[in-house]
Amino acid sequence: MDKLIITGGVPLAGEVRISGAKNAALPILASTLLADEPITVGNIPHLHDITTTMELLGRMGVGLVVDERMNITVDPSPITDFYAPYELVKTMRASILVLGPLLTRFGRASVSLPGGCAIGSRPVNLHLAGLEKMGAEVAVENGFIHATAKKLKGTRLVMDLTTVTGTENLMMAATLADGSTIIENAAREPEVVDLAHCLNAMGADVNGAGTDTITVHGVERLSGTHYNVLPDRIESGTYLVAAAITGGKVRIKDTNPDMLEAILEKLDEAGVDVGVGPNWVSVDASIRRPRAVNIRTAPYPAFPTDMQAQFTALNVVSEGTGTISETVFENRFMHVHELRRMGADVQLEGNTAVTRGVNNLTAAPVMATDLRASASLVLAGLVAEGDSVVDRIYHIDRGYECIEEKLAQLGARIRRVPG
């Protein structure tokens, strides 16, 4: 297993390009199953989860062509299998996103039921309940979801809680259903909006994405298009925190500041200078040490759970005491135990981490447990005294494109060693 070795202490400086968003690319690639013509998806990040999605589509018999710029052309017409096997679903829960498209387009789907994961139990009951309400027969047997439907029927779906992939699955299922579907208490994440834009480019009739009520009028068929995925707001936020934590000065480009509001607000509260342009954000933390902030994660537009671990790392070296409450997932504090091994003063009280800023962290061998936890350990390594070794970085490769190259480009002393 590869490891990252990071020698802390360099304030980051320079400019870095933000990649396409993983959490938009995954549903958009799944949505290609809805069309009866090839779809080309651009600005796809080079990530392990993308490779897994391509393998998943490939095993169904779908045609795939990737060019040198990571434009992926998907031709769903040769599909032969309507099946997502356990060995792929267990490595990537987002495989569940093929359920809605397969069912509505081909009338059947068998998808391995995702298990719990490092950050929580993460059930998919709301995906299934929504599809059943649209007329699907759903059975869970031997660890698989088997769903069938002659033709899904539009209906009103009131979601018990906001779920991102749940909203996406139901929105995709509704595009080819009979009549209109209204999804109430829908997730408002920019990635949901990006998927809706892609679906509409394919000929769907989706309205209200970005609000908590999405209306989808079913259409007969969806056709080919070329669609570019939006920039990754979590990668954006992670590089901004990297600048802040190292006392650096960094500009991220090819991003969209409009979807970073909650993150930029917290950086501003931390006393970091934030500048914003049409497609860039800059952070200057070279003048003063950041102050600890209080954070409560919640669905968009509130502060994202996917940035919680990174801000925990920032808080532990910032001035004063801060509290970080996690309300989306029940077990998303694995990084806290590793940060403590680097000298952080952080206590867990229920779903809240209370941080007391220390002047320095010290390097230690640490282990990544999930994608965003690994990012926070890399951030801590950038300021720790000595050589930190971050193990199990396959988690990072699932969601951060070329992280060591991008950080090295900003001056970080970081290298990957094969394990």
Active site residues: 117
Helix or strand or coil: residue 406? Answer: helix
Cβ at position 291, least distance to ligand EPU in Å: 26
Rounded Cα–Cα distance for residues 274 and 128 (Å): 42
Using left for φ > 0, alpha for ψ between -120 and 50, and beta otherwise, residue 239 falls in: alpha
How many chain residues bind ligand EPU (CB under 6 A)? 22
Q: What are phi and psi of 279, to 5 degrees?
A: -135, 25
Residue among 19, 165, 175, 312 that touches ligand EPU (CB under 6 A):
165
Of the candidate residues 328, 353, 378, 412, the single one contacting ligand EPU (CB under 6 A): 328
Residue 279 interacting with ligand EPU (CB under 6 A): no
Q: What are phi and psi of 124, to 5 degrees?
A: -120, 25
Q: Identify the CA nearest to 227 among candidates 270, 253, 194, 271.
A: 194
127 binds ligand EPU (CB under 6 A): yes
Among 40, 225, 236, 305, binds ligand EPU (CB under 6 A): 305
Q: Is 169 in the site for ligand EPU (CB under 6 A)?
A: no
From 34, 84, 371, 377, residue interacting with ligand EPU (rule: CB under 6 A): 371
Show the CA angle centred on residue 410, arms to residues 21 and 402, nearest 5°.
40
Single-letter residue type at 101: P
Beta-ladder partners of 293? none
Rank residues 299 and 343 by Cβ distance to ligand EPU and give the closer one: 299
Q: Does 161 bind ligand EPU (CB under 6 A)?
A: yes
Extract the tokens encoding 318.
Answer: 């910032």
Q: State yes or no: residue 124 binds ligand EPU (CB under 6 A).
A: yes
The answer to the question of residue 157 lying near ligand EPU (CB under 6 A) is: no
* Interacting residues with ligand EPU between 87 and 106 (CB under 6 A): 94
Question: Cβ(154)–Cβ(216) under 8 Å?
Answer: yes
Residues in the chain: 419
Q: Which is nearer to ligand EPU, 139 or 161 (CB)?
A: 161
Nearer to ligand EPU, 134 or 292 (CB): 134
Q: Cβ 45 to ligand EPU, closest distance in Å?
A: 12
Q: Which residue has the tokens 């093929």?
A: 98
On whether the CB atoms of residues 381 and 6 are closer than 8 A, the answer is yes
Q: Applying CB under 6 A, does 144 fall inside the site for ligand EPU?
A: no
By the rule CB under 6 A, 250 interacts with ligand EPU: no
Q: Tell me which stretch binds ligand EPU (CB under 6 A): 100-108, 136-144, 158-166, 284-292.
A: 158-166
Nearest distance, CB of residue 6 and ligand EPU, angstroms: 21
Adjacent-strand bridge partners of 5: 389, 415
Q: Give whole-number Cα distances, 260 to 126, 128, 303, 382, in Å.
A: 28, 31, 9, 23
Q: Which residues are at the interface with ligand EPU (CB under 6 A)?
A: 23, 26, 94, 120, 122-127, 161, 163-166, 305-306, 328-329, 371-372, 399
